[in-house]
Amino acid sequence: MKASKIIAASVFIIGLLLAAAGCSKGAESDSLNSPDAPSNKELSPLTISIAFGDLNTLWDDLQSEVGKLITEKTGVSVKAEFPISGSDTDMFELMVASNEYPDMVWAKVSAGKLKDAGALIDLAPLIEEHAPNIKKVYGEYMKRLRWSNDDHGIYVLPTAPVNQTYFSAGGGFRLQHAVLKELNYPPIKTVQDFENALKAYYDKHKTTADGQPIIPLSLNGGEWQFVISVTNPAVAATGAPDEGEFYIDPDTYEAKLHYLRPEEKEYFRWLNHMHDIGLLDPESFVQKYDQYKAKIASGRVLGLIDMDWFFAGEVAALKKEGKFDQTYANFPVTLNEAYKRHDFQSYGYLSGIGISITKSAKDPVRVIKFLDFLASDEGQVLLNWGIEGKHYKVENGKRVIPENILNWKVNDNWDFRRTTGIDMYRFGPSYGDGVKDKTGNYYTTVFPEQIEKEYTQADRETLAAYQIKNYKDLWPTEEEFPVRPWGAAWNINMENGSEANVIFQKCQDIMKRRVTQAILAEPEQFDAIWDEFMKDLEKAGVEKLNEEFTKLVKDRVKLWNE
């Protein structure tokens, strides 16, 4: 899963654009001279309200450099509300109860609840009449936006980038460059290799240079991220793709909770072993997310098994402090060499989670035009590259990031994003990494040549030692696997309040309790606890859950492929 990237857009007057951005009168600056240029009425001030189902610590009401230009170019300001903590979706339940909604919602799994309540409007007519850029972005995948086999309306505009090429792995097993350097860059292919490296370094170093106790491996398992940092890696390490909490048989589409797979039991047995020999942080299952991040930012955690977006800010802080050797290299670790990681297996275009317009929207036409601007070539370049002449320049027809801007982006990314607004406001339709515009430039700044420019010296030394240019070179390629016709199971939602959903929640509670218990147990107790875990799932109705989710997967295949 790639990480969630969030929010904004707008439309400006050409004279102001030239003055503020210092842009040339080239192709990237002349959209207001086109037949689709907004009228004065369309540029009149409008504040759009939006509710997000996730926290966004960088949200700034479009007060960054890019954000202000977006408002000038569209006349639109955006005011957002977020859950009190984490992925809490209680606020959407309150909206349904009160029948009061903002103009837009990014509701994640609560979209179904809002749709059932009649809160979301069908966007298909608005797109057809007012949003040519949105139609262009989704292109051949427009049918994947259909709600169901019975309702072909469009109620959510997915934020998953279209035609995405992944040039780096979001997941994987990470080791500090300092560890690898001291051990002369050993092969890191299996959990045993990973364990050996942690142990060899930790045997020699119990504290950091500033006297803090070193932690060999910490897991982000104290809150909801448990399923990301603790259980999902069991899937990847045993040769299956990320389907959220399920495993899908690629031939029959039969679904089952993934921790029912016997091979995953052996991955958790390894975590039990890591705890037993003192290499696993004992606070892994009780620490708050902020505590986990603070440990990483201190530079004392040698190894991580997590998605990169959960600790990107902390890595940026380490770089800002010049602690490059305490940042991380990434490896496609498996339980043993018999397994092949599926991180780059394609799921085609993954519609699902995204932005919706509610029945309470003051001006739905203006809102869809706002989103359409974000989806335009001009909007996409602004969101990803920033302002020409300020954040990038064009040399010989190619967009280039000046060295001082690039250094800022690499070494203090949090401040860079907060100040510039680049890579902060993509909450609508967008092109994926690797897609080029009509000028032959990439829409985003994530492509091989640019990635290589952004590597630190520590990265370059590690990459050279393993004789690769990009960490992705260590992974099996996308071409080695078939495209998944159902997309990804984590993108398939069960009906709220359904029998399957109730069973699923029970199984989740059982899973978190039993997996934690098994990892922290004495090794000789592991098998007995795991057997009880399987019995608990059976009593909770896991077979019924698997049966019902299989139906949903088959329905998805029919909806997207027939």
The distance from CA 55 to its chain's CA centroid, rounded to whole angstroms, is 13
**DSSP classification of residue 260:** G
**DSSP classification of residue 1:** -
Domain-embedded: residue 102: yes
Domain-embedded: residue 222: no
DSSP assignment of 286-327 equals T--HHHHHHHHHTT-EEEEES-GGGTHHHHHHHHHTT-GGGS
User: Is residue 101 within 8 Å of residue 70, measured between CB atoms?
Assistant: no
**DSSP classification of residue 119:** -
C-beta contacts of 553-557 below 8 A and 24+ residues apart: 553/248, 553/253, 553/255, 553/486, 553/489, 553/492, 554/253, 555/148, 555/149, 556/486, 556/487, 556/492, 557/253, 557/485, 557/486
Q: What residues are paired with 394 via a beta bridge?
A: 399
Residue 439: enclosing H or E segment and its boundaries?
none
CATH code of residue 101: 3.40.190.10
Token match 């440990």: residue?
A: 295
Domain-embedded: residue 37: yes
DSSP assignment of 461-476 equals HHHHHTT-SSGGGGSP
pLDDT in 10s for each residue of the chain, 562 residues: 433 333 333 322 223 222 333 333 333 333 333 334 455 556 799 999 999 988 776 789 899 999 999 999 999 999 999 987 655 668 899 999 999 999 999 998 889 899 999 999 999 999 999 999 999 999 999 989 999 889 999 999 999 999 999 888 889 999 999 999 999 999 999 999 999 999 999 999 999 988 999 999 999 999 999 999 999 999 999 999 999 999 999 999 999 999 999 999 999 999 999 999 999 999 999 999 999 999 999 999 999 999 998 999 999 999 999 999 999 999 999 999 999 999 999 988 888 789 999 999 999 999 999 999 999 999 999 999 999 999 999 999 999 999 999 999 988 888 999 999 999 998 899 999 999 999 999 999 999 888 888 899 999 999 999 999 999 999 999 999 999 999 999 888 888 789 999 999 999 999 999 999 999 999 999 999 999 999 999 999 999 999 999 999 999 999 888 7
- What pTM value is reported for the model? 0.78
User: Is residue 120 within 8 Å of residue 155, measured between CB atoms?
Assistant: yes
Which amino acid is present at 204?
K
Q: What is d(CA 562, CA 560) in angstroms, rounded to the nearest whole number? A: 6
Domain-embedded: residue 200: no
Domain-embedded: residue 229: no
Nearest to 351 by CA among 87, 153, 161: 161
Residues 533-544 as b/e (b if ≥16 CB within 10 A, e otherwise) read bbebbeebbbee
Q: What is d(CA 340, CA 47) in angstroms, rounded to the nearest whole number? A: 49
Q: What is d(CA 377, CA 137) in angstroms, rounded to the nearest whole number? A: 10
Which residues have a Cβ under 8 Å from the Cβ of 484 and sit 6 or more positions away?
241, 248, 250, 345, 346, 347, 348
The distance from CA 246 to its chain's CA centroid, rounded to whole angstroms, is 18
Domain-embedded: residue 454: no
Q: How many domains does the chain have?
A: 1
Domain-embedded: residue 339: no
Domain-embedded: residue 518: no
Q: Which domain holds residue 389?
A: 14-165+349-442
